[in-house]
A and B are shown apart, each in its own frame.
Chain A
Amino acid sequence: MRQTRLIMGMPIEVEIVGDDVGDIIDEGFEYLISVDERFSTYKQESEISRFNRAEIGENALSNEMKEVFALAEKTKKETRGYFDIRRPDGTIDPSGIVKGWAIHNVAAIIRKAGHKDFFVNAGGDIAMEGKNAIGEEWSVGIRSPFNTTEIVKVLYPKGKGVATSGSYVRGAHIYNPLAPEDELKEVMSITVIGPNVFEADRFATAAFAMGKSGIRFIENLPGLEGYMIDKGGVATFTSGFSSYTHA
Chain B
Amino acid sequence: MDMKKLLAAISIVILIGVYIFYRMSSATPTPAATTGTLTGNPDIGNINPNASSTGSTPPPTPAPASAYKDGSYTGSVTDAFYGKVQVKAIIKNGVITDVVFLQYPNDAEHSVEVSNHVIPLLTAEAIKVQSANVDTISGATQTSEAFQQSLGSALVQAKA
A: which residues have CB within 8 A of B?
8-11, 13, 15, 42, 79-85, 87-89, 93, 95-96, 99, 119, 121, 123-126, 128, 132, 138-148, 150-155, 162-175, 177, 181, 184-185, 188-189, 191, 205-206, 209-210, 212-217, 219-220, 229, 231-239, 241-242
Contact = CB atoms under 8 A, between A and B. Distances in A.
Interface string B20-50: 0100000011111111011001011101000
Contacts of B3: 88
B57 A143 contact: no
A148 B16 contact: yes
> A-side binding surface: helix, strand, loop or mixed?
mixed
Nearest to A219: B120
Contacts of A42: 79, 84
B142 A152 contact: no
Contact of A167 (B16, B134, B135): B16
B126 A168 contact: no
B140 A152 contact: no
23 contacts: A10-B81, A82-B107, A96-B82, A125-B138, A139-B133, A141-B134, A146-B18, A154-B130, A174-B14, A184-B34, A185-B43, A210-B112, A212-B43, A212-B44, A216-B45, A220-B118, A229-B127, A233-B33, A235-B124, A235-B127, A236-B123, A236-B124, A238-B122
B139 A143 contact: yes
Contacts of B134: 139-141, 151, 154
B81 A99 contact: yes
Contacts of B123: 236-237, 239, 241-242
Interface of B: 2-4, 10-19, 21, 28-35, 37-38, 41, 43-45, 47, 51, 55-58, 78-84, 96-99, 104-110, 112-118, 120-146
Contacts of A126: 136, 138
Contacts, number: 290
A220 B119 CA distance: 9
Contact of B114 (A175, A210, A235): A210
Nearest to B3: A88
A175 B30 CA distance: 9
Nearest to B137: A141
A93 B41 CA distance: 37
A141 B17 CA distance: 22
Given A95-B82, A152-B127, A174 B112 contact: no
A169 B13 contact: yes
A220 B117 CA distance: 9
A154 B129 CA distance: 10
B107 A85 contact: yes
B13 A171 contact: yes
Contacts of A170: 11-13
Nearest to B104: A168
A82 B108 contact: yes
Contacts of A119: 135-136
A104 B110 CA distance: 29
Given A173-B98, A177-B31, A234 B125 contact: yes
